[in-house]
Amino acid sequence: MFLCVFIKQSETRAALARVFCCAPDYVACAHCVCIAGASSVRVQCPEVDGNEKLIGQMLEVKVASLSDTVGEFKERLSTVLGLAANKMKLARDGVGFLRDEFSLAHYNVDPNTVLQLGTKERARGKKN
């Protein structure tokens, strides 16, 4: 037996609805996207001069669950890219920047979603 919860993206786009499925065995039916269980997330990296690991590539990163927080996901990315998690910012079209304390599922991230990776730069002093 499945317990499905429908969440509308917006009032103007009532036709677009996301379905999350909570089955006892985390087995998703054909029309559901399950937030528990292993999944993958796609990340578009920027092209940064002087960094051989950020060359504008598309990464597909495996996650244990979409209930992982954005902060946990950034820690996983940091092992792949060699860039500290606190120097990363992730964005999604229509949402903006993702906050570390919320889960990937909170932002309706699924395997078809592409997250944009950006880097945080330190402020530089004024030049005279």
- pTM, rounded to two decimals: 0.68
Q: Which of 56, 46, 59 is nearest to 121 (CA)?
A: 46
CATH top-level class of 37-128:
alpha beta
> 96-115, pLDDT tens digit by residue?
999 999 999 999 999 899 99
Ranges of each domain in the chain: 1-34, 37-128
> 16-75, pLDDT tens digit by residue?
333 344 444 444 443 445 556 788 999 999 998 888 889 999 999 999 899 999 999 999
How far apart CA 45 and CA 58 sit, in angstroms, is: 6
